[in-house]
Structure 1
């Protein structure tokens, strides 16, 4: 589904008005939506037909018309009322089904776009913000369409139906309703706008309380350790009292609004009723007693409908803002461009940097400068240096997360910028400092992306990663659930699973980014043994602060301020007595 929606949505979200965007999203279900409007009009017709039928029954009684008119009117309204249930079910299937499909399409397009956006974009925009767009913003759009359709259609059909009936039965009163109904709705809307302000203030106070409770629970160990319970409670009491005051103000305004709106609508209703009664009493315009009751009933329903339509403005505004929020992701330009580029079917593992520079978008100094390095297939290169020296940038260049600002990066002699990086990454494995595991079984985590991996292949990767010994001790073995982010495992166990995941892919290029820095001595020894097996015959780039972990590298590249300062083996660099020796001496000391 995602692939079929990404291009049209990408195009539509470029500087489009959110209303046009919504229309585009719902275009596939336009026939269902038209049918939903028709079904709703029929099912909702009793609301505006009832005053007309009531008028007919009253006129039959007062004017002693044939009794059959009462049975006919009653039968007609009962039939429409009984049809409401099946028609409402059909309406829900038509409208809500269309809205849910639109929401699914939108979420699919968002997820597709997030997979396409560059790592730079993801490092700048927090995961929480993106999650809110996929979950909350799309839900807000769905709710806006549903509420606007349900409430707006109801109010519109009552307005149109009521005015048509009045125009047919008592056309002289149409100008009165066209003036009185909007005026009454305007008064009620003005009262409601004050209520909205107080509602918003109360919502902010509730959000503040939520934040304070979260903060208080997080600080309980610190609070208890320093005997600060009283201070924490006093701080919370201040927030609770502000919430109490805001809630009481809101209740008071709610009460005033309800009472004033009720008074305004009923005063106008009484005045219209009195005017209609006087007109009927003196026989002007041929207004019957039934017309008097009908006009009185319609005033209330039409005023309520107009007020309802005015009240939809905040819902629509919030929904359209969510459409814009989603559009920020769908039109973000930072895409990894692989379209039409050469696919990689095999890789020996040669990596060549030629005068590579890379500068981040913040306009600062280049993170990598004049970087020249030729790496032979199967060679292990260790990158060392102080924080900020450019090591992680070099790794990101090798993975293809970022492209050189200038210079060239070659894979087996082919410029990386001409290759489809998705096909290149099939030959790459990364073992990061913090292993990334999802809440699934050990089998699922190790074989992630390798659907054809059988149990023996998974067990072989676990053995080579020194992970089989702890996996076999677990009650469910390969089917043991690791928990979110691997929370049920130790740091060393998580890292060995990450190595097993890398091994099972049999990569040609291997990236190790501080793979042992967070481990204790025993875990590090087990992981180092596993890494030794993983490195064999693979082009490997290693970043490590602990120099003891890179002694066996074929070459060590010492970086400083984005440049290569020294290159050589561990022994060669120590004999030179340069930057590497200084780093080594500092760690030994």
Structure 2
């Protein structure tokens, strides 16, 4: 995977995610080392306080020089005063490194998604990929942050406390090494009993979320049929489950908190009593300060050990997210463009030579023995039943997939030898469902073309029969279309998609069911705009509605991945074959 400064190119397949994590942060290792040092200094009052307390108690009990009292208190006060600036420095060093790595991983994931083949994207849902970019990277960041803050604090206290005990009262060191882990294990056992009930409560809340989503989607149906009481009864049942599960969890949490508090304090009292007896009867050379210090350290070290054990689920979840991110970063299904010929111009001649394509998971080829010569500027319509192979042919022309048999030539050059990324600069696609993003009309039409002025945008909108409705909208070119173009009608969205295609002046044009979802009036406007768009361009049209392809130069009727017949609208009707059968089916 990677460093924040460079591409994430770490090939770690089969490697433990901890090594991958170390590689991720290798560019920030100096900042992280500085953060660790700062943390130990700023966190030192936690493990120094029992020692200072012991010194103060001994000063009082043994009537030592009062200067020792002032020096002990002064050391702690100095450390406390410098804590705020040290903490800010720690946050800047550590959290800055974590944020930079998180940003680098997200950027690498987005870059990788652009490089992966369309076949990969057809297999992996957009929601899964979105979760990897957003949730998995956030989980990694949270794991490192929590492990650093909580884990470092616990480790610092453990190490500092055990060192002080080993130096000051070495006789008690074996006792702490036994008692502290045992106490921590007992506390963790109590917590483990809560895990099942926490999961049950989470499932009930998730079920509630699902019910709310379902209820909001069905509101129109519910209201239309007068089913409000039924919908509310279902929701009340779910709310009741959440209530009961929540109350049960609250009682268990209260019981745990009480038992843990009693156990730790009882242990502290027993240890305090035992060490006091040892000092009273002078079994070992213990002072009153030592007794106080040992009692304080028992609770502190037990809590630190318990905290470290409690980090296990966080770390496990974070490392699983590292693996999840790696699945995308190391996915082998890349579009193969490296070292291929760069396309600098396109004439528009496309030739299929016994072209075939077979998806890995399919039983038979989607396209087979497809042979067709397309002249520059010619309009080819592809018709046929669903599953005939029309969309696969379009994907071959766009370059989303490469032939698995035969050849596909662009201006005489085998497309397997071309860098298809550069070829697609000369291609425009108008899909069935126009794809718009949350932004202005100008941004959507001129997407990816920063040097286009408003006059060019208006010209494209005019040719797409869209300028009239755009100028009526508040803001004109600056009007926001809404998420997925939600503020526009279907016909308006499709005309903006045509304007986006026109402004690019493509040499190869793909129209994939561009009018199938429109009403009659919108279809007429879109068809008129498409007539301007296809002029002089090599165009491939897929349509189920045959009335939209009758003016194509040639119509290719497909069946089972192959070509059944080719000709003009009139020729195919006169032939009385498959096309004529499709025509009769739509007229009846």
Q: Given the two structures, how large is their TM-score scaled by the length of structure 2? A: 0.98
Displacement after TM superposition at 1:245 (Å): 2.0
Q: Given the superposition, is the C-alpha separation of residues 4 and 80 from structure 1 closer, same or farther in structure 2, using an over 3 Å criterion? A: closer
CA distance in 2 between counterparts of 1:5 and 1:421 reads: 29
Displacement after TM superposition at 1:13 (Å): 4.1
What is the RMSD computed on CA atoms of the aligned residues? 1.5
Partner SS state of residue 544, structure 2: coil
Q: Given the superposition, is the C-alpha separation of residues 3 and 446 from structure 1 closer, same or farther in structure 2, using an over 3 Å criterion? A: farther
Displacement after TM superposition at 1:363 (Å): 2.9
Displacement after TM superposition at 1:6 (Å): 11
- Whether 1:583 and 2:582 are equivalent positions in the alignment is yes
Q: Deviation per CA, 1:242-286, whole angstroms, max 9, x where unpaired? A: 222211221121112111111221122111111110111122321
- Which residue does 2:148 correspond to in 1? 149
Contact 2:442–2:457, Cα closer than 8 Å, also in 1 = yes
Partner SS state of residue 400, structure 2: coil
Displacement after TM superposition at 1:7 (Å): 8.3
- Which residue does 2:294 correspond to in 1? 295
Q: Deviation per CA, 1:212-263, whole angstroms, max 9, x where unpaired? A: 1111111121122222222222222222222222112211211121111112
Contact 1:6–1:109, Cα closer than 8 Å, also in 2 = no
CA distance in 1 between counterparts of 2:242 and 2:531 reads: 60
1:12-411 matches, cutoff 5 A: 12-411=11-410
- Which residue does 2:450 correspond to in 1? 451
Contact 2:13–2:330, Cα closer than 8 Å, also in 1 = yes
Q: Which runs of 5 or more residues in structure 1 are unaligned?
A: none
Of the structure 1 ranges 35-44 and 196-205, higher mean CA displacement relative to structure 2 is found in 196-205
Displacement after TM superposition at 1:381 (Å): 0.4
Partner SS state of residue 472, structure 2: coil
- Whether 1:531 and 2:530 are equivalent positions in the alignment is yes
Q: Deviation per CA, 1:26-75, whole angstroms, max 9, x where unpaired? A: 11100010110100000000011111011101101111111111111111
CA distance in 2 between counterparts of 1:15 and 1:252 reads: 44
Partner SS state of residue 352, structure 1: strand
Partner SS state of residue 447, structure 2: coil
- Which residue does 1:496 correspond to in 2? 495
Contact 1:162–1:302, Cα closer than 8 Å, also in 2 = yes
CA distance in 1 between counterparts of 2:152 and 2:179 reads: 22
Contact 1:5–1:109, Cα closer than 8 Å, also in 2 = no
Of the structure 1 ranges 250-259 and 229-238, higher mean CA displacement relative to structure 2 is found in 229-238
Displacement after TM superposition at 1:307 (Å): 0.4
CA distance in 1 between counterparts of 2:566 and 2:468 reads: 38
Partner SS state of residue 9, structure 1: coil
CA distance in 2 between counterparts of 1:490 and 1:508 reads: 29
Of the structure 1 ranges 52-61 and 262-271, higher mean CA displacement relative to structure 2 is found in 262-271
Displacement after TM superposition at 1:326 (Å): 1.2
Partner SS state of residue 357, structure 1: strand
Q: Given the two structures, how large is their TM-score scaled by the length of structure 1? A: 0.98
Q: Given the superposition, is the C-alpha separation of residues 74 and 102 from structure 1 closer, same or farther in structure 2, using an over 3 Å criterion? A: same
Q: Deviation per CA, 1:405-459, whole angstroms, max 9, x where unpaired? A: 1111110111101100000001100000111111111111111111111111111
Contact 1:381–1:540, Cα closer than 8 Å, also in 2 = yes
CA distance in 1 between counterparts of 2:476 and 2:538 reads: 32
Structure 1 residue ranges, 4+ long, deviating more than 6 angstroms after superposition: 2-7
Displacement after TM superposition at 1:20 (Å): 0.8
CA distance in 2 between counterparts of 1:343 and 1:488 reads: 40
Of the structure 1 ranges 38-47 and 189-198, higher mean CA displacement relative to structure 2 is found in 189-198
Contact 2:3–2:23, Cα closer than 8 Å, also in 1 = no
Displacement after TM superposition at 1:78 (Å): 0.5
